[in-house]
C-alpha cells in the first residue's frame, strides 16, 4: 500500500512539474512575441535580432 501511495505522489509531482514547464514555455513564447512587437515599433535592427532570438527559442523548445 505504501508503494502505491509513493507512486501516486511521484506521478502527481511529475504532472505538476510538466504543467509548470508548459506554463514556463508559454510564458517565454509570449515574452518573445512581446519583445518582437516592441522591437518592431522602436528599431528595425532590434526587430531582426528579436526575430532571430525568437526563432532560436522556438527551435530549442520544439526539439525538446
**Closest Cα partner for 47 from 37, 58, 38, 39?**
39
* pLDDT, tens only, 7-53: 999 999 999 999 999 999 999 889 888 888 877 777 777 778 878 88
pLDDT surpasses 90 at 4? no
Judged by DSSP in three states, 1 sits in: coil
Give the model's pLDDT for residue 1: 61
Residue 21: the pLDDT is 93
Residue 19 grid coordinates = 504543467
pLDDT at position 64: 64
**Tell me, what's the pLDDT at 13?**
95
Query: Over 90: is that where the pLDDT of 60 sits?
Result: no
Amino acid at each position: 500500500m505504501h508503494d502505491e501511495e509513493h507512486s501516486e505522489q511521484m506521478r502527481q509531482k511529475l504532472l505538476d512539474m510538466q504543467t509548470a514547464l508548459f506554463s514556463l514555455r508559454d510564458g517565454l513564447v509570449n515574452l518573445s512575441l512581446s519583445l518582437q512587437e516592441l522591437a518592431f515599433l522602436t528599431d528595425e535592427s532590434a526587430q531582426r535580432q528579436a526575430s532571430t532570438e525568437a526563432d532560436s527559442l522556438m527551435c530549442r523548445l520544439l526539439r525538446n
